[in-house]
Amino acid sequence: MKKALNIAFLGTRGIPNTYGGFEQCAEFLGKGLVEKGHQVTVYNSSNHSYQLPSWNGVNLIHCNDPEDKLGTIGQFIYDLNCIRHARHQDYDVIIQFGYTSSSIWNWLWPKQSSHIVNMDGLEFQRDKYGPITKRFLKWAESWATFRASALVADNIGIQNYLKQRFPSKEIRFISYGADIPSPSENNESILSELKLSPNSFDLIICRMEPENSVETMLQAQKASGSNRLLVVVGNTSNAYGQKLLDQYSGANIIFTQGIYDIHALNALRNNCRFYLHGHTVGGTNPSLLEAMANAHSIVAHDNEFNRSVLGENASYFSKTQDFSTLLSRSEVVSNLAQTREVIRQNHNWNHIINKYEAICYEVV
């Protein structure tokens, strides 16, 4: 019988998830590894709303995070604080989510631990970054691979890109997971709260970033003159989000801000007409997998990452005109049975937890 491992997660804002994909993965993966008998520690931002020392058996270390005061530079300081703490612990394995701000500290990574790095998406292609930042991100990508014991890609498209960029490195593919909810989990009180009825609205759930095609979808909705509601779930507190809120909020476009209750989100997905997914550079997005487990019909941006997950089980758009044409459909075909089968076969959380556990044992 293999010994239990002492595993730490760095690179997220913390759990329980109130932010995004890495946090979602850390939440499910951490809980799953604890249930398999391992000791798991997740590093949490000091700004996280959850301040207790543990969550579902996962130990939490709250490190000083000045991002709320310093902006982006605060991410680098937060990652440094996490790494400095980890240097004095006895972790067998550190799973590092992303490389954007942690890789510059790669020379400080604890030498007594093995390191698995989930390489994230094509960060240097994000529209919000200028030329200097994009150049830095290309360097950071290389730095992250330099000291890693194993590299993980969450999407076949990302794996192909990394293989071409780092041909001497082995790139493992491990996707994110999603659960198929039981009917009893479908909390439809969110529909009453937002004054929505089933099949009366289209739905976007994402962070407010240019590369998520949010404005393309909002422009199409506004130009169509349709009375059908578009519900946009996501925090608009950043500058881009505030711009979208000011410019597009109206009678038929509803911004709900962030919703993190998985049952409420699933109710919205299950009762929308179209689930709209505009992500272009981020690999496999957990919110897309959850939509595949719940939404009857998905419209996605046409790119390698989305197609590698959805296959033929979605409609695709690449520009505003394509999107407008799709939205004007009077009849919608449900792909829920097919997408749920893809979730069962390719994105089962137990399978993903087992894959990460196997790599942990391998690198130790």
pLDDT at 123: 66
pLDDT tens, position by position, 209-246: 888 889 989 988 887 777 789 999 999 988 999 999 99
Q: List strands edge to edge, sheet with 58-63.
A: 54-55, 58-63, 39-45, 6-10, 93-97, 114-118, 150-153, 171-173
- Superfamily (CATH) of domain 183-346: Glycogen Phosphorylase B; (3.40.50.2000)
On whether the pTM is more than 0.75, the answer is yes
Check if 6-177+348-363 and 183-346 are the same fold: yes
The domain segmentation of the chain, as residue ranges, is: 6-177+348-363, 183-346
Fold (topology level) of 6-177+348-363: Rossmann fold (3.40.50)
Give residues with Cβ within 8 angstroms of 286, minimum separation 6.
20, 21, 24, 25, 176, 178
Cβ pair 313, 338 in contact under 8 A? yes
**Which residues does the chain have with pLDDT short of 70?**
121-129, 184-187, 330
In sign, the C-alpha dihedral spanning 317, 338, 208, 199 is: positive
Answer for the pair 93, 118: CB distance below 8 angstroms, yes or no. Answer: no
Model pLDDT, residue 288: 92
Which has the closest alpha carbon to 88: 50, 47, 41? 41
Distance (Å, rounded) from C-alpha 74 to C-alpha 51? 19
Of the candidates 293, 328, 324, the residue with the CA atom closest to the CA atom of residue 309: 293
Q: What is the pLDDT of residue 272?
A: 93
